[in-house]
Amino acid sequence: MIVIPLIERKRDGGRLTREEWSQLVVEYAAGRVPDYQMAALLMAVLLNGLDDAELGGLTDAMRGSGACLEYDPATVPRVDKHSTGGVGDKVSLVLAPLVASVGVAVPMISGRGLAHTGGTLDKLESIPGFRTDLALHEVRRQVERIGAALIGQTSEIAPADRKLYALRDATATVEAIPLMAASIMSKKLAEGLNGLVLDIKRGSGAFLPHVKDGLELAQTMIGLGEERGCRTVALVTAMDRPLGRACGNALEVEEAVAALQGEGPPDLMEVVYALGTEMLLLAGVEDDVKRAGRTLQEAITCGKAVEKFREIIEAQGGNPDVLDDLAVLPHAPSVGVYEAPAAGYVDRVEPRVIGQGVANLGGGRQHMDDGIDHSVGFVITVKPGDRVARGQPLASIYAREPADVRMGRDALDRAIRIVHDPAEGGLPLVSHRVTAKAVEILG
Ligand code: URA
């Protein structure tokens, strides 16, 4: 394939045809287009964008580079959730079993933590024995049998995206909104979904901090999904402070188990119920927002949701005793308490500093192949707007050794800002609802 004229055309603001994108993806995945030419083309896309036909061509070619999950038509409706990533975001751990427990199948493909953000796969792998590397035929069987599977992107799913994503990561082209949309949707559409709910984070800890960029990403992904028969809705949620209290892999599993047992922190539960409601509406098992919310709450109260988590853990080789005995999870040997250095009001709990703090304690990675310590992290019990007294415990630090507790304390000093005058609570937790037709402002 002669690539230079395609790079020139894209560089000069022109467009490639659907067929050209298709052929490019096939040739690149097969190693017949070199990285340096693909990198130049990706940079031209970052600078000049893609029109709808190009975006569709690229997405379909990446999805078509691997296998797609196909189900018996009698299988219950399948809906997934995708988050653009944050700190303390253990929503998937609660949402997948919760929604599956009320009759909607959830084949969920998740990612690992990178830089300051956490990843669902890392959290799940703190449960001893839990396997996230199921083959597609195992995923299909498990979804048909128990209604949910939580896995990572395997080499079977959109392998061209995997190769392109690694190249984007090394060439400063991850941030291109059309490339992000095509990358995420190529994998989601391979799951054989009827519906998809997007959790678009905004605020200082989000991958795209500005709401305008988040809305553009949401609308681009919604367009791709709807045109391909996958009903897609997005909620924009706050990531200007960590979600819930726990930040760190095993600590977040602990909080997710508590949430499934009816003891979740209010902000986490609000996001879980908002996203879960959208999932039930998309699946068509509920047609009323209030009723959908009640159905989800009842599934937690009556114990159905936590029992579904037990089934998922057992099916994927994990130790289900974690639901009854948290000692099954790895525990950090050094624990410290962080106390308020002054009286006043909490003005900021900066998620990037917290997320990076977890990574520095050993709970996150700088490079994709780094190992991690699942036990470390923070539990932060204050939120922006809270009034605090001098010396009041605000957080616990879980670390491998005492020197790391000191490092954790330094991170909390930088992350938690206390001011003299009353402070605001931060961005509205769920601020926008985006559909193919409209952007609704909720708060
Ligand atoms: N996650 C993905 O899978 N792809 C992107 O491009 C960004 C985030």
Q: What's the rounded mean pLDDT across residues 126-140?
A: 95
**Centroid of ligand 1 to alpha carbon of 399 (angstroms):** 30
Among 187, 145, 189, smallest CA distance to 165 is for: 187
For the residues 282-291, what does the mean pLDDT come to? 97
In CATH terms, the superfamily for domain 4-49 is: Transferase, Pyrimidine Nucleoside Phosphorylase; Chain C (1.20.970.10)
Ordered by start, the domain boundaries in the chain are: 4-49, 79-325+430-441, 331-419
Q: In whole angstroms, what is the distance from residue 264 CA to residue 270 CA? A: 10
- Asked about 52 being catalytic, the answer comes back as no
For residue 241, what pLDDT is reported?
98
If you measure from the C-alpha of residue 184 to the centroid of ligand 1, how many angstroms do you get, rounded to a whole number? Answer: 5
Banded pLDDT at 340 (limits 50, 70, 90): very high
Kindly state the tokens that stand for 295.
Answer: 């159905």
Distance of CA 325 to the CA centre of its chain: 27
Which of 78, 81, 82, 188 is an active site residue?
A: 82
Is 84 touching ligand 1 by the criterion CB < 6 Å? no
Q: Dump pLDDT digits (tens) for 34-64.
A: 999 999 999 999 999 999 999 999 999 999 9
What is the CB neighbour count within 10 angstroms for residue 5?
Answer: 11
What pLDDT does 16 receive?
Answer: 98
**Average pLDDT of the residues in 375-391:** 98
**In the prediction, which pLDDT does 443 show?**
83
**Contact criterion met (CB below 8 Å) for 199 and 91:** yes
CA pair distance 230, 194, nearest whole angstrom: 5
Residue 2 has pLDDT above 90, yes or no: yes
What value does the mean pLDDT of the chain take?
96
Residues 410-420: tens digit of each pLDDT: 999 999 999 99
Task: Look at residue 76 and tell me whether its pLDDT is greater than 90.
Answer: no
Instruction: Kindly report, residue by residue over 148-192, the tens digit of the pLDDT.
Output: 999 998 889 999 999 999 999 899 999 899 999 999 999 999 999
Res. 430 pLDDT band, cuts 50 70 90: very high
pLDDT, residue 114, reads 72
Question: 207: alpha, beta or left, given left = phi > 0 and alpha = psi -120 to 50?
Answer: alpha
Q: Which residues contact 416 (CB under 8 A, 6 or more apart)?
A: 338, 346, 348, 349, 350, 380, 382, 394, 395
83, 183, 186, 375: the active-site residue: 183
Q: What proportion of the chain, given as a percentage, has pLDDT over 90?
A: 93
32 is catalytic: no
Reading the block at residue 408, the tokens are 């954790």
Residues constituting the chain = 443
CATH of 331-419, picked from 3.20.20.70, 3.40.50.300, 3.50.50.60, 3.90.1170.30, is 3.90.1170.30
Q: Which fold has domain 79-325+430-441?
A: Pyrimidine Nucleoside Phosphorylase; Chain A, domain 2 (3.40.1030)
For residue 184 and ligand 1, the question of a CB distance below 6 A is answered with yes
Which pLDDT does position 228 carry in this prediction?
Answer: 96
Minimum mean pLDDT range among 97-106, 163-172, 332-341, 392-401: 163-172
| Token pair belonging to 409 | 């304390």
Q: Is 183 an active-site residue?
A: yes
Tell me if 165 CB under 6 Å of ligand 1: yes
What tens digit of pLDDT does each residue of 84-120 get?
999 999 999 999 999 999 999 999 999 888 778 889 9
Q: Is 399 exposed, middle or buried (0-12, 13-18, 19+ CB in 10 A)?
A: buried
- Residue whose CA is at the smallest distance from ligand 1 atom 5: 180
Residue 320 has pLDDT above 80, yes or no: yes
In this structure, how many other beta carbons lie within 10 angstroms of the beta carbon of residue 438? Answer: 7
Give, using CA atoms, the residue closest to atom 3 of ligand 1. Answer: 184
Q: What is the pLDDT of residue 113?
A: 83
3-state per-residue secondary structure call for the chain: CCCHHHHHHHHCCCCCCHHHHHHHHHHHHCCCCCHHHHHHHHHHHHHHCCCHHHHHHHHHHHHHCCCCCCCCCCCCCEEEEEECCCCCCCHHHHHHHHHHCCCCEEEEEECCCECCECCHHHHHCCCCCCCCCCCHHHHHHHHHHHCEEEEECCCCCCHHHHHHHHHHHHCCCCCCHHHHHHHHHHHHHCCCCCEEEEEEEECCCCCCCCHHHHHHHHHHHHHHHHHCCCEEEEEEEECCCCCCCEECHHHHHHHHHHHHCCCCCHHHHHHHHHHHHHHHHHHCCCCCHHHHHHHHHHHHHCCHHHHHHHHHHHHCCCCHHHHCCHHHCCCCCEEEEEECCCCEEEEEECHHHHHHHHHHHHHCCCCCCCCCCCCCEEEECCCCCCEECCCCEEEEEEECCHHHHHHHHHHHHHHEEEECCCCCCCCCCEEEEECCCCEEECC
Region 198-204: mean pLDDT is: 98
Q: Residue 426 — left, alpha, or beta (φ > 0 → left; ψ -120 to 50 → alpha)?
A: left
CA distance 236 to 434: 8
Mean pLDDT for 129-141 is: 95
Segment 309-335 mean pLDDT = 97
pLDDT exceeds 90 at position 268: yes
Q: What is the average pLDDT across 294-310?
A: 98
Does ligand 1 have an atom closer than 6 angstroms to the CB of 180? yes
187 is catalytic: yes
Catalytic-residue membership of 92: no
Contact 251, 259 (CB under 8 A): no
The answer, yes or no, to whether any atom of ligand 1 lies below 6 A from the CB of 208, is: no
Residue nearest to atom 6 of ligand 1 (CA): 180
What does the pLDDT average to over 233-256?
A: 98
Mean pLDDT, range 213-240, rounded to an integer: 98
Ligand 1 pocket test target in 63, 154, 174 with most atoms within 8 Å of CB: 174
